[in-house]
Amino acid sequence: MDMKERMKKLAEAKQKIELGGGKDKIEKIHSEGKFTARERISTLLDKSTFQELGQFVKHRAVEFGMTSKEVVADGVVTGHGLVEGRPVYVSSQDFSALAGTVGEAHARKICVAMDAALKNGAPFVCINDSGGARVQEGVDALSGYGEIFYRNVKSSGVVPQISIIAGPCAGGAVYSPALTDFIIQIKNQGQLYITGPKVIKQVTGEEVTMEDLGGTEPHATKSGVIHFEAEDEEDALNITRRLLSFFPSNNAELPPLIEADHKDVVENIPALNAVVPEASNAPFDMYDVISIGDKCF
């Protein structure tokens, strides 16, 4: 096989991988108003800056018929690119490939990206859309989750970590986001729950919907697990880009600075001088602080 044929074969292999779980599944994703794993990355990052890692990684599982199952890119797209010209590492789970479930190789790909983010002092963004641990891989899948959690803790306070909840995430898929700095959940699309409604009914007899159990409403108003509620996928990715604009890339850098004419954007509010008492032990109403501060802009 000459070089021309090799290059053609490589291009065909890449094209197949970029189709994820196939055209039918991509069409189904689009019909639901959702982005594919790769479309999410291309929307998040600056144009043409994404460099993929582990594109040809495959699982090595043999039990439960896994030898005959081809899981493209093992269900997750990982790599790095730029956001407003600054390096960012990213992983995006592909629900079209075995429901984005986490197996040994899937977890290793995420860990490689997280290690690189920590080593190079760059933020890490994880776009979650996963059915949880891949049951066909058993303990290897659970061990993979443990490796991810370890890196979440190791990176905490060193590089910014942001999680986007873009689909129904259950079991192990919810623990990692909870260890990151910010969680952005998409309304009527992303869910976070330890176990699903069917298990709840079987164990407790209670009937509950996916949204009532793990949607944005309970997490934004009751549990306090999430920080931002996004209207749709594009909104979630825009929130992520805006968040990153405030952060330093790591704990050894200063946050980005921009020049601004405060006279044009901040109004002089005399009430601000008295809203917080001089005495440190004197109580005050935080609603007053928020309402007065809101008038400044």
Averaged pLDDT, 235-249: 95
- Sole residue written with tokens 């144009």: 47
pLDDT of residue 112: 97
pLDDT of residue 267: 63
- At position 138, the amino acid (one-letter code) is G
The SS3 assignment for 145 reads helix
How many C-beta neighbours within 10 Å does residue 169 have?
26
Instruction: Flag whether pLDDT at 108 surpasses 80.
Output: yes
Averaged pLDDT, 105-110: 96
Mean pLDDT of the chain: 89
Instruction: Flag whether pLDDT at 50 surpasses 80.
Output: yes
Q: What would the pLDDT profile of 204-240 be if each residue is shown by its tens digit?
A: 988 888 888 889 999 999 898 999 999 999 999 999 9
Instruction: Flag whether pLDDT at 144 surpasses 90.
Output: yes
- Sole residue written with tokens 């290059």: 7
Instruction: Flag whether pLDDT at 183 surpasses 90.
Output: yes
Q: Which residues 6+ apart lie within 8 Å of 191 measured at CB?
A: 165, 167, 168, 169, 170, 210, 211, 213, 214, 215
How many C-beta neighbours within 10 Å does residue 274 have?
11
Q: What would the pLDDT profile of 267-281 be if each residue is shown by its tens digit?
A: 677 777 888 888 889
Which pLDDT band holds residue 263 (cuts at 50, 70, 90)? Answer: low
